[in-house]
Structure 1
């Protein structure tokens, strides 16, 4: 008889400006399973008592082997270490230690009992045939492995990019993005503790609701990526799915902290000369970049109630590379001169009363992320967790970029994201073969595009020294509509969309369904 596991998933769907839309969630696994067979001299041992203990929290799951010697402990916390103790009448007690489980996977554990002698204790790595079994191609990284990844940006995409099917694209001006198996990055799905935490409106480069991901890297216990899962519960994506399982508190206090700093004083100002920069000197505007955060976890009530809190703040405003030949941060627009910019700005202000702004100096990168989690062992068979998420970020983006076009401040827009979410996860084991898991999500998400210098039409000013239009004001048919080849353009106004756009995703009705 196969083990029966009922899964209940609940999710609040996005409510846009046009009206409310409610949909059931496509859920990810958040737990692990230990499944084993108990034998003696090749024969199954029925009726053996199996005790599975999560050592860091003291959480215990009990099972009894069936007629074939099989047992299953489902709905377990991911990670470990676990200890499995097998007791059967007429046999010596056998204990397997240091079992490490992976999210969404089953740890296969064969146990051999001896009929006489002292109790046997062995580590899982020495048991032949023991190990995690994945249902489909998956890549799972533990907290220790994540801590060893070099991520200058503290971006969760650096973790997802470790998947063999993933490609990290850093060429987009709107931000970094990850593509799985060659699919459009917006077709990905991102989940936290099994529920979707994604970009509700499709304004970001990929499925993430913020620039670097909604949770600090130090808060992640395991990170899973998949492209073709077999599980019927996993859907609603065409590229890949990333699932971040947050850390939980244990019976011991743990904590981490970090601080990084950079500035123009630590950045080189000279390179080898090249066509666009014959002097090799780079003008670095003044800037500072700071990134700091901390994570702490531990017990509130030993063996019963645990907490984890993590926060991270980024103030990493970086210079925008594009500028005139005389004033740039690494990428001069060919032919663009300070004198032309000054003249265009003066005419716009004096004749039309319009301020086009100057060169966009900084991307204004800001990012705040906070997560808190409470785990409670209600009993040996009941466990519940409450998770709260908060993220807020902002970036200045130039609408026009290129080696022949220089977009001014009025041609740029501010791109903010703000998200609040609450997750409830309840796990229960009713019998050895029947367990349930229920989740609920509450989420609000605000995003938009706001011109840096107010609403206006977009104008392209050609910097050609002479015009082919006549001076009498008559409209002719033999005039150019584009700049001559090799002549730069200065682009004013229409930062982002033609008008400010703000989109809000409000909490909707929660639905659940079995799968």
Structure 2
């Protein structure tokens, strides 16, 4: 589960600019059907989503190759192949990642019916750039008093506590394809079906060089739900929330609803004064090969300042409509239409802004033998209105508008059963007041699995962002940070390249399944209004992870940073803000049922960093607070929960839980305890 993300080279806490991008909210499967004598042509391939009973089918071509797109992220799925002259072949336990196609090698047998699990196959996830996935079970074990997405994302190596914006790092947060502000998290933990942290998404559907993409949970044929009540121990804060999902019409129409509210009456800088989150999602199987999903998000966030007053307020409303269509065994399309409205007001009367955007992206997939071709077209209209400000020269008041255009073509080629090469071009353009600026971005990546235990991934490409930067909370962003409203301003862009190695090792008496890996990532700014041309970053990580049969999972990663940004505002400090030299991140997760099947879970996450203090005007350098030069800091978060029976509901459970942040720290610590029911 360990991958890396490069911390950004952009200003602290700016809202990530919007870009026309088709955040992948669905999964895909491709493969090749063979037998002892070679490819098996014209066989039917059927995949079924177990929670909903949704089936998709296609027919392999003359080379035995097949491609299925637009599938719900997650799973589990069961894939079945019935070919004349062969016994039925089934693969169970398939889990799909949004935006990372799974390639399955299928080998039929003439005399034996086969039922295998995906773990026994040489299945390969085609994501050449480093990417970490978190499912609901992993998210449930994250200690977070504020229940914010950034607490999940920072478990990835090299995601710092305050997730940076900008083209060199994390380009912001998307939920069901809608680009949203910051990484505080506009949705409840319980509403997230899958969270992906991507450092270098080389697919031409992606514009920013790094993203956090969340996919909302969908309903299934069985009703399920949770509810919780909690208290923030040291902040006089209460919280409550609920999640409910199920069928409206079995096998056809499903819903999922979530609400969460956290309150805090005690003034504490960085603690939420009021945080209210709503989300809703409808999934519709209109016909075989025709699927639609509609989602809506509302978020109201208002933290307090150190004096007990309201520091700022932010309200977000967003909606997304996704249409997934299979037109033939070779051609499929995905259409995505999004809307967002973000209003931000500063309690200090420094800035007041409202951003609104509406647009859409259409992607077409065509399979030609071992080549999976993709074409992408997108458009978005964005407007930002800024009220008069009390600090002249920070931002320009008035209405600002821009049109964003995107196009891309890509070929994903299975050169042989062990090697996939993907290459393509993406064009992004922005038009403001009749003036247009554009960037052409070439990209290439490869995934090679020469042995079942060894996988090599790598790639290189150019990335950009075309969106307007909305002014944020002035207490958290550098004074005088430029806002990209100048029609003649150049589009920021940078080159990124990465190389990753993963190996599964058998350590004999210590067990099999030890996952060892390393990642090397390099980013070089080509042009950026905020930074000089020589800004670059080199990051390396070494990681190891394993799981034991008695319920313990463990991982540790060592990260070495070498970042040079030449911040023009701090000429005496040419290195990155929060100059982190080395980082060690580690996690332990233990779950065991001591009584019947009522589990006890203990999840621990720690981070040790060697760094220099924040050198720009940011108020808070990290969750660990201020530090003298060359300080070494250790932070440990702890989550504990215990299952109990709930006799009022069939199959129901109660769960007592506690989250403790910075267990060994005197400052910037926190705790939340509560009870959760589930059915």
Question: TM-score surpassing 0.5?
Answer: yes
Change (3 A) 1:291 1:108: same
Change (3 A) 1:217 1:115: same
Q: Give the alignment partner of residue 174 of structure 2, picking from 179, 187, 191.
A: 191
CA offsets, 1:375-421, max 9 Å, x none?
000111111111111110112225xxxxxxxxx67xx6530111111
Task: Provide the residue aligned with 2:219 in structure 1.
Answer: 249
User: Segments of 4+ in structure 1 off by > 4 A?
Assistant: 182-185, 507-510
Deviation at 1:509, TM superposition (A): 6.7
Q: Give the alignment partner of residue 72 of structure 2, picking from 77, 80, 87.
A: 77
Q: How high is the TM-score relative to the length of structure 2?
A: 0.49
Distance 2:356 2:131 in 1: 33
Task: Provide the residue aligned with 1:463 in structure 2.
Answer: none
Task: Provide the residue aligned with 1:227 in structure 2.
Answer: 199
Deviation at 1:24, TM superposition (A): 6.3
Deviation at 1:215, TM superposition (A): 0.8
Q: How does 1:261-410 map to 2 (within 5 A)?
A: 261-263=231-233, 288-320=236-268, 365-398=273-306
Task: Provide the residue aligned with 1:12 in structure 2.
Answer: none
Q: How many residues align?
A: 349
The answer on whether the counterparts of 1:251 and 1:303 sit within 8 Å (CA) in structure 2 is yes
SS of equivalent to 1:154: coil
1:31 aligns with 2:14: no
Task: Provide the residue aligned with 1:43 in structure 2.
Answer: 38
1:164 aligns with 2:133: no
CA offsets, 1:448-503, max 9 Å, x none?
1124xxxxxxxxxxxxxxxxxxxxxxxxxxxxxxxxxxxxxxxxxxxx53xxx432
Q: Give the alignment partner of residue 217 of structure 1, picking from 166, 176, 189.
A: 189
Q: How does 1:47-196 map to 2 (within 5 A)?
A: 47-117=42-112, 119-127=113-121, 129-168=122-161, 177-179=162-164, 188-196=171-179
The answer on whether the counterparts of 1:216 and 1:369 sit within 8 Å (CA) in structure 2 is yes
Deviation at 1:184, TM superposition (A): 7.9
SS of equivalent to 1:159: helix
SS of equivalent to 1:116: coil
SS of equivalent to 2:205: coil
SS of equivalent to 2:90: strand
SS of equivalent to 2:46: strand
Distance 2:106 2:358 in 1: 48
Distance 1:221 1:234 in 2: 21
Change (3 A) 1:107 1:23: closer
Distance 1:154 1:226 in 2: 21
Deviation at 1:57, TM superposition (A): 0.9
SS of equivalent to 1:157: helix
Distance 1:449 1:105 in 2: 39
- Bigger helix fraction: 1
CA offsets, 1:12-69, max 9 Å, x none?
xxxxxxxxxx986222111111112211115111111111111111111111112221
SS of equivalent to 1:144: helix
Deviation at 1:372, TM superposition (A): 0.3
CA offsets, 1:69-109, max 9 Å, x none?
11111111111111111111111111111111111112121
SS of equivalent to 2:303: strand
The answer on whether the counterparts of 2:337 and 2:359 sit within 8 Å (CA) in structure 1 is no
Give the structure, 1 or 2, with the largest relative contact order (CA under 8 Å, sep 6 or more): 1
Distance 1:148 1:364 in 2: 21
Distance 1:165 1:112 in 2: 40
CA offsets, 1:175-220, max 9 Å, x none?
xx2138x9887x622111122122xxxxxxxx34xxx311111100
Distance 1:86 1:363 in 2: 54
Distance 2:176 2:56 in 1: 21
Distance 2:58 2:176 in 1: 26
Task: Provide the residue aligned with 2:322 in structure 1.
Answer: 425
Distance 1:214 1:393 in 2: 9
Task: Provide the residue aligned with 1:504 in structure 2.
Answer: 354
CA offsets, 1:278-301, max 9 Å, x none?
xxxxxxxxx621111111111110
Q: How high is the TM-score relative to the length of structure 1?
A: 0.63
Structure 2, unaligned stretches of length 5 or more?
1-16, 361-378, 381-405, 409-679
Deviation at 1:161, TM superposition (A): 0.6
Q: How does 1:449-460 map to 2 (within 5 A)?
A: 449-451=346-348
Deviation at 1:303, TM superposition (A): 0.5
CA offsets, 1:144-201, max 9 Å, x none?
1111222222111011112213111xxxxxxxx2138x9887x622111122122xxx
The answer on whether the counterparts of 2:230 and 2:239 sit within 8 Å (CA) in structure 1 is yes
